Amino acid sequence: MNAYQDIYDQYVVEASFLWLLRSIAVEQPHYNSDEILALENRIQAQLDGLLTALDDAWESCLTALELEEPGEVFTATIVAFKSHDMEKIQQVVKVGLSNKDAEKGLISALGWLPGKLIHPWVKKFFTSKDLNHKYLALCACSIRRENPSEYLNRILERDDCKQHIKLYARALRIIGELRRQDLMQHLTDAIAHDNEEIKFWALWSAILLGHHQLVSQLEPYVLTTNPNQHHAINIAFRVLPIEQAREWISRLSNDKAQTRTVIQATGILGDPHAVNWLILKMKEIVNARLAAQSFTFITGIDLIKNELTGEDRQHLIVQPNDLEGDDDISLDEDENLPWPDYEKVSSLWMNNGNRFVTGQRYFLGQGLSSENLQTTMRNGNQRQRHAAALELALTNSEIPMQNMRARLSVTGE
């Protein structure tokens, strides 16, 4: 063993851990693009260390791969592809496809690597007989926002591919992401499918292609708890007419278990009609921070900048994973949101709310102009950037939907 092997072991540990941090950060309200870029540079510094001696790096990666964790799979995939070694690449692909978490690291690496290296492999995956390889190729194209052209057409025309639900759903989703208007008929056919996953992504993409009238068919996905409820709400309340959106929100609110969903929906809709209700929700410990986030999405009022934050009440919340026998260690989605001060927010709104017109949609206190949305995509926090990208995509059905989770740093490595 190389006398410096422990150094490469440490590079693997650091790169994998930093990747995990980034995978969380891209969804968080306290990270912006500059901070994501700083994280990416730290990841690349560790990868650069590994790439100084690929054989030694691979030895360290092999040990880490046994964990089958996404960060370790990401790091090993970078090293494997940089080595141009078929056997190593086959190994990381096999491990990456072994579970859902590992798959995230594999796909992320396919988006991280430079195009000149990854494009030949994406073509190999598309032409592979293994349908899981075709799925990987689609994911790589999606994360990179690169058009798979005829490869996508062929997948949509093959019965065996359409019987592979995961592959078929991903193919339908990328139609919307990349604005493949030429494939609308495939979406129309899939909307009649009896599989809910297939039907949902066909509707989602059709709406992104400009067929907003289909939003009414998202009703069951919006109003009931299901795997695609978040995606459904995120797109539906951006295209629904205001009155219909209010009616759906009213129906959602009949189920107390959907209170947080209602709070999110009001922020997405952007109608100041709901602001007073959101302010009342700021009194409730479990809903306060989420209500404040929706308040900001509508009004553009930043709680921290405007000194509207209150006492941290986190210690008063019993988390599910604090309960005996609960092993869930997932990050609380409110964890990095500021705590609002109900009295201060209420007073400010009383004095400034009259400039907002009820029944009109707002996004961070402004209209939904292309300029405003692009400014948010550049300067907003990650949750705001995701929302702005989707809003912009819905206003222009021709340009590809931008990926706010994609790698920001551009290098020639």
Q: How far is CA 349 from CA 120, 268, 295, 312, 384, in A?
A: 56, 19, 10, 22, 21
Does residue 412 surpass a pLDDT of 50? Answer: no
Residue 389, pLDDT score: 98
- % of residues, the chain, pLDDT over 70: 94
Name the more confident of 154 and 330: 154
Phi, psi of 211 (to 5 degrees): -90, 65
Residue 397, pLDDT score: 84
Q: How many Cα atoms occupy the beta-carbon half-sphere of 348 within 13 Å?
A: 19
Does residue 320 surpass a pLDDT of 60? Answer: no
DSSP-assigned beta bridge partners for residue 32:
381
Q: Strand, coil or helix: what is 313?
A: coil
Structure tokens at 125: 């995956």
- Are 262 and 285 in contact by the 8 Å Cβ rule? The answer is no
Q: How does pLDDT run across 292-308, given as a tens digit for each residue?
A: 999 999 999 999 999 99
Does residue 312 surpass a pLDDT of 90? Answer: no
Residue 4, pLDDT score: 80
Average pLDDT for residues 247-259, to the nearest whole number? Answer: 97
Residue 385's closest CA among 51, 26, 46? Answer: 26
Residue 383's closest CA among 352, 338, 321, 339? Answer: 338
Q: How does pLDDT run across 85-116, given as a tens digit for each residue?
A: 999 999 999 999 999 999 999 999 999 999 99
- Are 390 and 399 in contact by the 8 Å Cβ rule? The answer is no
Rounded to an integer, what distance in angstroms lies between the CA atom of residue 405 and that of residue 40? 12
3-state class percentages of the chain: helix first, strand second, coil last, to nearest 5 = 70, 0, 30
Does residue 314 surpass a pLDDT of 80? Answer: no
Mean pLDDT of the chain: 94
Residue 323, pLDDT score: 46
Q: How does pLDDT run across 341-376, given as a tens digit for each residue?
A: 999 999 999 999 999 999 999 999 999 999 999 999
Q: How does pLDDT run across 32-46, given as a tens digit for each residue?
A: 999 999 999 999 999
Residue 3, pLDDT score: 66
Q: For residue 27, what is the DSSP state? A: T
Average pLDDT for residues 49-63, to the nearest whole number? Answer: 96
Rounded to an integer, what distance in angstroms lies between the CA atom of residue 213 and that of residue 292? 31
Banded model confidence at residue 124, pLDDT cuts 50, 70, 90: very high
Does residue 276 surpass a pLDDT of 60? Answer: yes
